[in-house]
Amino acid sequence: MPETAPPFFIARISTDCTQCDAWPEQPLLLSLEQGGIDWPSSCRNGTCRTCIGVLEDGEVRYRIDWPGLTPEERAMGCVLPCVAYPASDVTLSAQAI
């Protein structure tokens, strides 16, 4: 029998050990907000970069070709939760880059 994807993942914030359900069909930012986690945000479309964070563990996917991150930021693990969708359990840090 083929393995099926879980209905949701877990998003953890490493800086304060909070966590919430992260739904694969919605951006991480929305899951964080629904889970009661206060995460900075503004534009919600990947351009203002207010929500930038570091993906310490796990995987995300994007529905847009190039979110507002430089190649160097992507290489450092930066993500924009407003346009990043979880592809596994994830651990994020809000640390400044």
Query: What digits encode the pLDDT tens for the residues 25-72?
Result: 999 999 999 999 999 999 999 889 999 999 999 999 999 877 789 999
79 domain-assigned = yes
Confidence of residue 94 (pLDDT cuts 50, 70, 90): confident
- Parent domain of 69: 25-93
Q: How many CA atoms lie within 13 A of 86 on its CB side?
A: 27
Nearest to 94 by CA among 65, 53, 58, 56: 53
88 domain-assigned = yes
Query: What digits encode the pLDDT tens for the residues 73-84?
Result: 989 999 999 999
Number of domains in the chain: 1
CATH number of the domain enclosing 43: 3.10.20.30
Q: Which H or E element spans position 74?
A: helix 71-75
24's tokens: 């694969």
For the full predicted model, state whether its pTM sits above 0.75. Answer: yes
